[in-house]
Structure 1
Amino acid sequence: MLASLSADPDPTAIGLDQLAPDVEALRIARPAVRQGWLEGRSRSGRGEEPFVEVEWDVALDLVASKRVRFPGSGSDNRSRLPVRGDT
């Protein structure tokens, strides 16, 4: 819930519009994943298969499992999600 901090002498209104009912209706209630991705088919069926809702923990685990390390990132442990063209 968004609320002003009582100790803030000049609170900002930034973000308060996110409480509006029309914005709330646009929020993702549950993440959805392509059915074939869940079944281990990475690319086949893209654009044709349905999306199925999954729990947030499942979606977050799927995203985390796809993070890759930057080449030569050394000890700073930087990582990113793969992008088209990655090998």
Structure 2
Amino acid sequence: MPPADEHQQREAHGVDEIPAVFVRTRRGIKSRRRAGHRFTREGFGIALSALTDDQVAALTEDPGLEVEECTVPAEPDDGEA
């Protein structure tokens, strides 16, 4: 669950997004495995809540990966619509 102030900000702006990182390999690196995921040049976003602090550190400290902070759309849980 996000901190109350973050949740209130999202509701106030009508935005339902969560903090994430977008990770892809650097040019010249076809694929790389790190923190339980396989990355390519295409890349993908991962919600920060799905990663441990150690996993985030492993991703950001890997010289073969490009890691950018971003947000991803929040998806409702089953039963919510």
Q: What TM-score range do you get, normalising by the shorter chain?
A: under 0.3
Q: Answer with 1 or 2: which has the greater Rg.
A: 1
TM-score normalised according to structure 1 size: 0.27
TM-score normalised according to structure 2 size: 0.28
Q: Which of structures 1 and 2 has the larger relative contact order (alpha carbons within 8 angstroms, sep 6+)?
A: 2
